[in-house]
Chain A
Amino acid sequence: QQKVQQSPESLIVPEGGMASLNCTSSDRNVDYFWWYRQHSGKSPKMLMSIFSNGEKEEGRFTVHLNKASLHTSLHIRDSQPSDSALYLCAASVSSNTNKVVFGTGTRLQVLP
């Protein structure tokens, strides 16, 4: 059973600081990773996706992927209180891209 593990479980950063979140898959056949953000009481919404080794940047958000280590990370610079949310990592494998599995999430709190 494919597992997606995230760390840390929770993270507190000051406003304007950098938040770094990690995600690792247990399945060596993992091919696709997504990061979703879920504000309290709301449904998850896709934040960024990454399918190839390397780095991808969108505004204050940067995601890295290392397929050899099955690891992806999300970095938020200049963190804002509105970034406070549950961040969920999701993955699927090339043999069954229809099945998308999520991790347990990292709860980020940005203090003003």
Chain B
Amino acid sequence: EAAVTQSPRNKVAVTGGKVTLSCNQTNNHNNMYWYRQDTGHGLRLIHYSYGAGSTEKGDIPDGYKASRPSQENFSLILELATPSQTSVYFCASGDTQNSGNTLYFGEGSRLIVV
């Protein structure tokens, strides 16, 4: 089965600090995604990428940056973390050509900003 690994799995950050969430996939998928999940909001798309070197804004990109340095890795960066960014973050990979863009998710990263 497809493998997506996130780190860290849990993080407590201070307001104003910098946070980097990392994601690695071994599926050789072109597409990678970052979502956040809060109660009552389902999954909301922050940034996504359709290949190394590309990043696209999702529906809620404000306060977040993304980086896709290689096919395997996709990072989400919070330059100045705020308490409103406390959430569970999911990374996913998918490929429109080989799997109809079925998404495979990592286990999630729980971020608390105090």
Contact = CB atoms under 8 A, between A and B. Distances in A.
Interface in A37-60: 42-46, 49, 51
Contact of B106 (A43, A46, A92): A43
B102 A49 contact: yes
Interface string B34-65: 01000011111100101000001011000000
A101 interface: yes
Q: How large is the interface on B (under 10, 10 to 19, 20 to 34, 35 or more residues)?
A: 20 to 34
A42 B40 CA distance: 16
Interface stretch (A14-22, A67-75, A77-85, A102-110): A102-110
Contacts of A6: 42
Contacts of B103: 34, 36, 44, 46, 90, 100
A60 B100 CA distance: 22
Interface in A1-32: 1, 6, 32
B105 interface: yes
B30 to A, nearest CB: 8
B43 A92 contact: no
A-B interface, 8 closest residue pairs, ranked by CB to CB distance from nearest: A104-B42, A102-B43, A43-B105, A98-B50, A105-B42, A46-B102, A102-B42, A97-B96
